[in-house]
A and B are shown apart, each in its own frame.
Chain A
């Protein structure tokens, strides 16, 4: 079970090429961060995974099935995509209705749906908002509403597009915990983010993109300590890593505990 992206290029109908020759595989239960410059093609790339875009060249296989042979509605039962801007996704009158909407054609009983909704709300920390209008709650919480939709749906693959934007430390910690729980359940999480500390803390595998292409697919440590990749993809080391480099450490330090050990040994 995996998502396989094979020699994929994508051009918008107006001819603009957004992705060139992407190759990667996301295994079941794997957690991957996608980082890179604004406009590098990160969002386009993940929209290829759930069929919102179909490759103009190459193939995307979800658990062996080519996305070209399925509708977005069919694929989204397997691959959930949480939009970058929650307001592009939300359209119901209450948070609860937003979470229940996706079960409209489901064969689950009302009780089962309720259990799923309550659990998703708990994991994303939005219980207190379930009966509110989505647009009366803060942006950072609305983002968790859109994540809860797919947590409730229980999709095996979940794509989060910049979930860290605008989150405070509580939100970041909640996201990290949620990803741990999903991974324990064997679900894959693919996250686009610009928060480099979040990447270092939570992802062992990182895909770096620049100019429509994947320029590196490696461990967080190797990516952050490769200055060419860092420069080309407009990312940066976490600050502790930058400090370690500036004082001459060659140990590929990323974390405070590692730097502390280096400084106090």
Chain B
């Protein structure tokens, strides 16, 4: 039995004229990180909403096919139960912040209060997570007066504190500087090491190449390509489908076209470095 599974899933929003998701089938294994990529408006966020259980319970509309989360069909889950199994980090941090709490500390504690976690444990979890995300200096600030990047860290902290087994993360770093982005990805990697199953929507394709085990490419509601990250990105033709390809994968392709291919097709910087240094030392040996 798969940890999570989609079987012939088609979905249409209420009043919509077209399906937002079309006949999607996929197996998700526990403890893996799945990158979800593709054009905006193609269905990535709808896909996240589905995996979070917001479809059809919150949005309504027509859902056909089956969605299994931890072996149980999505329609059989209580929404409160789902909330303690799946954490969801919104695309837009300006939307995620509740707006009703006066300090960052209370904001992060809000989700835990709703889950009925004991007071002492709330304090402990919030204290740990603000350390982890380097936002200790913000805990007394008003969440509504934070910068975009700060809000994004607070939104992230709120969900990590809930310690769910599954995380659905929709563009967690869109407002962050490059250093802040790599900090967040280190945390995502750490969460994966802890055995969490992660679905991640992200436009920063280099990071998907580095961290995702598998990639799903969604276009106009269809799953047009999927599989191991290295295999998906070695198909540079995907550029024609509005999918960004890592510069390093394009470099590997360029090398191939120039008759000097890398021994194995590199999609990340460290893979390319290894290949280049290897080639270099071969040259010297000759």
A58 to B75, CA, bound (A): 62
* A171 partner residues in chain B, CB cutoff 8 A: 40
Q: Which single member of A85, A234, A239, A247 contacts B280 (CB below 8 Å)?
A: A247
A180 to B272, CA, bound (A): 33
Query: Which residues of B from 151 to 184 have beta carbons under 8 Å from A?
Result: 171, 174-182
Q: How far is the CB of A53 from chain B (nearest CB, A)?
A: 15
* B61 partner residues in chain A, CB cutoff 8 A: none
A167 and B203 contact, Cβ closer than 8 Å, known pairs A162-B148, A256-B254: yes
A235 within 8 A of B: yes
Interface digits, A19-49 against B, CB 8 Å rule (1 contact, 0 not)? 0000000000000000111110001000000
A228 within 8 A of B: no
Which range contains the number of A residues in contact with the other chain?
35 or more
Total inter-chain residue pairs, C-beta < 8 Å: 115
Q: Which single member of B147, B171, B260, B273 contacts A247 (CB below 8 Å)?
A: B273
A239 and B255 contact, Cβ closer than 8 Å, known pairs A38-B150, A139-B91: no
Is A235's CB under 8 angstroms from B244's CB? no
Of B1-9, B78-86, B245-253, the stretch lying at the interface with chain A is B245-253
A236 within 8 A of B: yes
Is A39's CB under 8 angstroms from B147's CB? yes
A80 to B62, CA, bound (A): 43
Is A243's CB under 8 angstroms from B178's CB? no
| Interface majority SS (helix, strand, loop, mixed), chain B | helix
Is A170's CB under 8 angstroms from B248's CB? no
Is A168's CB under 8 angstroms from B40's CB? yes
Is B178's CB under 8 angstroms from A242's CB? no
* B171 partner residues in chain A, CB cutoff 8 A: 166
B38: nearest chain-A partner, CB-CB: A168
Query: Which residues of A from 247 to 265 have beta carbons under 8 Å from B?
Result: 247, 256, 259-260, 263-264
A169 within 8 A of B: yes
Is A140's CB under 8 angstroms from B248's CB? no
B171: nearest chain-A partner, CB-CB: A166
Query: Which residues of B from 225 to 251 have beta carbons under 8 Å from A?
Result: 239, 242-244, 246-248, 250-251
Which A-B residue pairs are the 10 nearest by beta carbons? A38-B149, A234-B179, A236-B178, A165-B174, A169-B244, A234-B177, A140-B40, A168-B40, A166-B174, A260-B254
Report which A residues bind B (CB closer than 8 A).
35-39, 43, 84-85, 87, 138-141, 162, 165-171, 194, 196-197, 233-236, 238-240, 242-243, 246-247, 256, 259-260, 263-264
